[in-house]
């Protein structure tokens, strides 16, 4: 039940975001005097509507987005009433059209930023200094966290009754103990601990020196066996190694909470990192298509492959099911930011395509004026229709591919 609630809540959050996107277009267009005839949430048959002023507002039967109709978005629109010609969108200055067309993405960015600010004040944002790479992890002090067991194979999975117990737990070590030596060999970092353990054999007895609450002590542990690749070659051949049954407790906090004022700067910094990651993700999309096909045809799903709204909603359901509300809202932030950036790509029929054409017209007119040649006028959108259809076809195929992968082989965060 909690899972279904989470899926529904996340899908509703996406619908609200997209509806606000269209509201951004509508409100800015109205503010500049453009005529907006329709604003609807959803597509398909009309379930309910009313008219206020010159705009009809309503709800459609298929809750998969929304739309607003601005009169005369292009010079080729053939449904403009002669009386509305002076208010046709294409007649307005390029800067006004740019604001109107970018208002949708700005709305998504605003939603992401406000949510991030609230998270920064209430729960904290990810610590940028938190160790994430293997090299950074190995430089951390050897402060341990006990595992429930030692998994014999080289795999990340939950413990079973058949798995050997953690040698560290059997030796009465505790979470937060800092290991300082193994069999007399000094240990300063977590990397030192791993290197020292790799020099021992499974089943061998090890003398563990540690510090707990400022007091030094020793313990004796009989090392278990697991399978791991060489430390200097993570993709190398897996072989049997000794295991103590511990993980690392990082010395830096995973999240940092901020005051209301400091949260603005932290939100800006985090958004900058998110922008870089988003552009890198967009660049990786073409090379991830084969991985999506592999996931659909029975292969393992790569967690770095793109997801659809369906996949995002499923992850939102998992977050609610596991009471991970922070993850739920971070997913909401990431999705809004991604949609905002994607929608500004200079491709028709995206808003970024309309903006790019508007500024191309402006630049071309400026150049022709300097050359004392007649203004070539507006771009003929009809000539761009083949390219637009190609973008729609490719985008539709990609969307279908991601939705299929999210249905038959979804990415999961928590084991269910």
What is the secondary structure of 13-81 as a DSSP string? HHHHHHHHHHHHHHHHHHHTT--EEEEEEEEEEEEEEEEETTEEEEEEEEEEEEEEEETTSSTT-S---
Is the pLDDT confidence value at 170 over 90? yes
What does the DSSP 8-state code read for residue 210? Answer: E
Q: What is the mean pLDDT of residues 237-244?
A: 91
- Number of neighbours of residue 165 by Cβ within 10 angstroms: 14
Give 280-312 as a DSSP string.
HHHHHHHHHHHHHHHHHTTSPPPTTS---HHHH
| The listed CATH number (2.160.10.10, 2.30.42.10, 1.20.1260.10, 3.30.1490.20) that belongs to domain 134-248 | 2.30.42.10
Give per-residue pLDDT as tens, 273-303. Answer: 889 888 888 888 888 888 889 889 888 888 8
Q: Say which residue the tokens 């990810």 belong to.
A: 126
Residue 158, phi then psi, degrees to nearest 5? -70, 155
pLDDT at 300: 82
Residues across the chain: 416
Give per-residue pLDDT as tens, 254-265. Answer: 899 999 999 999
Answering whether pTM is above 0.85, one says no
Q: Say which residue the tokens 């299929």 belong to.
A: 404
- Number of neighbours of residue 153 by Cβ within 10 angstroms: 10
d(CA 150, CA 156): 10
d(CA 319, CA 292): 23
Q: Say which residue the tokens 């083949």 belong to.
A: 386
Q: What is the mean pLDDT of residues 205-219?
A: 93
Domain boundaries, the chain: 134-248
Residues that are catalytic: 22
Q: What is the mean pLDDT of residues 320-336?
A: 92
CB 169 within 8 A of CB 177: no
């Amino acid at each position: 039940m909690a899972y279904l609630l989470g899926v529904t809540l996340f899908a509703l959050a996406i619908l609200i975001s997209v509806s606000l996107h269209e509201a951004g277009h509508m409100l800015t267009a109205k503010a500049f005097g453009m005529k907006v005839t329709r604003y609807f949430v959803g597509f398909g048959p009309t379930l309910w509507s009313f008219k206020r002023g010159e705009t009809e507002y309503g709800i459609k039967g298929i809750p998969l987005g929304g739309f607003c109709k601005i009169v005369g978005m292009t010079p080729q629109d053939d449904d403009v009433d002669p009386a509305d010609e002076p208010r046709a969108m294409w007649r307005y200055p390029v800067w006004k059209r740019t604001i109107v067309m970018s208002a949708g993405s700005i709305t998504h960015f605003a939603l992401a930023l406000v949510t991030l600010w609230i998270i920064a004040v209430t729960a904290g944002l990810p610590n940028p200094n938190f160790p994430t790479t293997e090299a950074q992890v190995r430089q951390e002090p050897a402060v341990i966290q006990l595992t429930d067991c030692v998994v014999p194979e080289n795999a990340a999975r939950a413990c079973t009754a058949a798995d050997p117990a953690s040698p560290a737990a059997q030796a009465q070590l505790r979470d937060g103990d800092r290991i300082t030596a193994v069999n007399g060999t000094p240990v300063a970092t977590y990397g030192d601990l791993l290197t020292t353990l790799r020099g021992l054999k499974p089943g061998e007895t090890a003398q563990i020196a540690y510090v707990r609450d400022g007091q030094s002590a020793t313990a004796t542990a009989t090392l278990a066996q697991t399978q791991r690749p060489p430390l200097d070659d993570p993709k190398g051949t897996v072989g049997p190694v000794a295991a103590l049954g511990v993980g690392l407790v990082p010395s830096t906090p995973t999240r940092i909470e901020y005051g209301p004022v400091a949260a603005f700067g932290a939100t800006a910094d985090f958004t900058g990192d998110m922008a870089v990651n988003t552009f890198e993700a967009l660049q990786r999309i073409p090379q991830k298509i084969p991985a999506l096909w592999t996931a659909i045809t029975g292969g393992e799903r790569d967690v770095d492959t793109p997801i659809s709204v369906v996949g995002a909603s499923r992850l939102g359901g998992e977050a609610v099911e596991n009471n991970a509300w922070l993850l739920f809202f971070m997913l909401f932030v990431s999705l809004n930011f991604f949609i905002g950036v994607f929608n500004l790509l200079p491709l028709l029929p995206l808003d970024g395509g309309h903006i790019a054409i508007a500024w191309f017209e402006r630049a071309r007119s400026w150049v022709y004026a300097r050359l004392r040649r007649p203004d070539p006028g507006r771009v003929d959108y009809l000539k761009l229709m083949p390219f637009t259809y190609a973008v729609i076809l490719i985008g539709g195929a990609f969307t279908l591919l991601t939705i299929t992968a999210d249905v038959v082989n979804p990415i999961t965060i928590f084991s269910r």
